[in-house]
Amino acid sequence: MNEHSSGRVTFEWRGQFDSSEVNALHAEAFRHPVLEDDWRSQVERHSLGWVCARDNRELVGFVNVPWDGGTHAFISDTIVAANARRQGIGTQLVAIAAAEARAAGCDTLTSMTTCVPSTSTPAASGPVMQD
């Protein structure tokens, strides 16, 4: 696990989390009831990794990086708690995910976006971000 810090928020590649924490963040971000998905099992089975952002001990951000097992990874489920938005946390989550995908040998990183009212953006695909 690689740990990064930005002010009081820490970021950790393949960081520890409880599925209930991600379920709560996901429900808030995508405006649905809190589910009981087993995020831990899902990411361990299907993902190259994920990034957790914590403010002290509180999970305030998460991004999942599923992959094809080769050179193509995806940015999925980028979520930041409402009280932590507009601080660059989402940008840092994606930057760390891209750097770790690149370090793992991925040459393509595709952003998978979900349309949410008034916050939707088009999906993008292309070479892994360069420094």
Per cent of the chain over pLDDT 90 is: 72
Cβ contacts of residue 14 below 8 Å, gap of 6+? Answer: 1, 2, 49, 50
Radius of gyration (Cα) for the chain, nearest Å? 14
- Residue 42: per-residue pLDDT: 92
How many CB atoms neighbour CB 65 within 10 A?
Answer: 28
- The CATH number corresponding to 3-127 among 3.40.630.30, 3.30.1330.40, 3.40.50.300, 3.40.50.11600 equals 3.40.630.30
Higher-scoring residue by pLDDT: 31, 7: 31
Per-domain boundaries in the chain: 3-127
Q: Is 36 exposed, middle or buried (0-12, 13-18, 19+ CB in 10 A)?
A: exposed
Q: What is the pLDDT of residues 45-81, one digit of tens each?
A: 999 999 999 999 999 999 999 999 999 999 998 999 9
pLDDT at position 127 over 90: no
**Cα separation, 124 vs 90, whole angstroms:** 16
Is pTM beyond 0.85? Reply is: no
